[in-house]
Amino acid sequence: MEPINARSMLNAATAAAAATADQPRVERRRRLSQAAIAVTNQKVRRAYSPIVIAGVVRLTDFGLLSIIGVALYLGYVTPLAGFHWTYVAAIFGMSATAVVCFQASDIYQVQVFRGQLRQMTRMISSWTFVFLLFIGASFFAKLDGEVSRLWLSAYFFVGLAALIADRLFLRALIRSWARQGRLDRRTIIVGSDENGEKLVEALRVQDDSDIDILGVFDDRNDSRALDTCAGAQKLGKVDDIVEFARRTRVDLVLFALPISAETRILDMLKKLWVLPVDIRLSAHTNKLRFRPRAYSYLGKVPTLDVFEAPITDWDLVMKWLFDHIVGSIVLLLASPVMALVALAVKLDSPGPVLFRQKRFGFNNERIDVYKFRSLYHDQADPLASKVVTKNDSRVTRVGRFIRKTSLDELPQLFNVVFKSNLSLVGPRPHAVQGKVQSQLFDEAVDGYFARHRVKPGITGWAQINGWRGEIDNEEKIQKRVEFDLYYIENWSVLFDLYILLKTPLALMTKNENAY
């Protein structure tokens, strides 16, 4: 089953909320049960991706074997017979072949890294096979007389010793991360009934499982809803899940409801799709069976993918590198301009040069975003409870220019490079009290918070398409959300680069709404 398209759900949803008085609003947070609060109060560390860990180990193996081979060659063979590139090519070829053999032996898995005997025996046999393969190839190519036997023997034993030492260190590291919960998939179960109980039991009976069940949620208050499912405590209702996932790390939402309960499932998905988590439907009790490749498995438990968390694993690494490398270059190039803007702001009106404003960040967290001050200091609006409009008297002379040209946004490069709570490209971080026609943005657009499934950015797909500046009607915020969701679903590094390169042109040609 393909993941459901998030944008189509937004288009299918309707904006519904009663108009409220135009005054500062108290932030709304749903009350959780005491059991849920106890879970959210637990100290949780950031998770590490098993896919990235396995990839780093592959690169480490290749680099380690290549360095050892080249070092032994330069230290022993080169002084006697001179330097030949064929040796270096052979070393890189053997190192790459070793990684391929290790992969074929299935030792690049976090569960295998935790063990010892299993990975050691497979690694030793694979490394031996690589050398036998090389010796055989040398024999048939009539190169066996030109290859130093002492170098080859030293490469085999030193390489093997280095691999064993590396695996012992990796084993200790992985076990330490496992104790800290960095490798666990923190999971909540939807459905506190007999199906939920069977699911929890099926997940917990598996050896080396990375599933950490936090609890179960269920809307029903009658006898069908159990207070505990195989030891997993009921934490609240489905409506509580969004708030719960914003107070603590949740990696997976797993539905224990049968496929026949499609109406209930769809109602729940409309509430949960805004979260940056994987959402799956358990198929362990369903009589309807699909082909095995249609499922993704949690150990031996078959599941159907409904939503996938965007930008994860290597994509997340690539985006982080893009933000910090390109962001540092842009910050360096923009420094002279930023210095001139800071001087102009300081000379134009009294008050600090920089202004901090509360904005929505990843997963709805509140972050402080830096900007050059564009309003008079005594009329600052940290929560943006009043939208800046055309000819707004609160805007300074310099502020009017830097807002029109978006130069006031340049200090957000500090958020990208040093605080890592912004990206160069992403949905713009709206103010926490941002409103349109007396409605908060999330009241005006159903599914608004889905744009917070990724880290916000300084510029974005909506901005280069003209949807920037003042939001004075529902269409403008609706369009922003639609473009933001398109960006999230179609993200790539090249897409980020395209948006970044298009931004200067968009600022010059599409600034009619920027005041």
Residue ranges and CATH numbers for the domains of the chain are 6-20+27-47+184-309 (3.40.50.720), 50-180 (no CATH), 314-509 (no CATH)
Q: What is the four-CA torsion angle of 198, 201, 202, 206, rounded to 10 degrees?
A: 180
pLDDT digits (tens, 9 = 90+) for 10-50: 444 433 333 333 444 444 567 898 999 999 999 998 999 99
- Name the pairing type of β-strands 211-217 and 278-282: unpaired
Query: Mean pLDDT over all residues of the chain?
Result: 85
Q: Please state the rounded mean pLDDT for residues 337-346.
A: 94
| Selected residue with higher pLDDT from 115 and 59 | 59
Tokens of 56: 């780093």
Q: Residue 335 and residue 346: Cα distance in Å, rounded? A: 16
Q: What is the dihedral of CA 24, 30, 31, 32, to 10 degrees?
A: -150
Cβ neighbours of 45 (radius 10 Å) = 11
- 389 contacts 513 by C-beta, under 8 angstroms: no
Worst-scoring range by mean pLDDT, 126-135, 253-262, 449-458? 253-262
Report residue 220's pLDDT band, with 50, 70 and 90 as the boundaries: confident
